[in-house]
Amino acid sequence: MEIVSIAVSKKKGTTKNCVKEAFLKKEYGLEGDAHAGDWHRQVSFLSSESIETMKEKGLDVTFGNFAENISTVGIVWEELPVGMKVQLGESAVVEITQIGKECHKKCAIYYKAGDCIMPKKGVFGRVLEEGMVRCGDDINIITE
């Protein structure tokens, strides 16, 4: 299980721009991202396999198009229970706080991608331990 994409944006409701690395700040989220802050959805996750499924359906999408912060390979995020902790890279730890989300209106992401998978496949968390995360970093599920 590893990180294959990291993405940030300055505004909510827009697609995100990919970066090679970013700092996950404790109780805040990814520095430089509009969704970071003092709430339960500081960072968002989506599997690259979910993005690939949308491509197979004919959508022209790539990393960041669903406003996800971190895309991964080898982990089915929506199957992890709320409260589960995962380690990203060497030191960052995130607790899963929400699976899926309710979209109140169709945003720029929906209109650009033609659909949005975050309501069912997106997972959100809060940062318990901070650290740098980079594309290629391992992801470990913490079992206590």
Are the CB atoms for 85 and 94 separated by under 8 Å?
yes
Look up residue 88 and give its amino acid.
L
CATH class of 2-142: mainly beta
Both tokens of 5, joined, read: 């994409």
Categorize the per-residue pLDDT at 61 as very low, low, confident or very high, splitting at 50, 70 and 90. confident
The per-residue pLDDT for 66 is 82
Q: Return the domain boundaries, the chain.
A: 2-142
* pLDDT (average), residues 127-137: 98
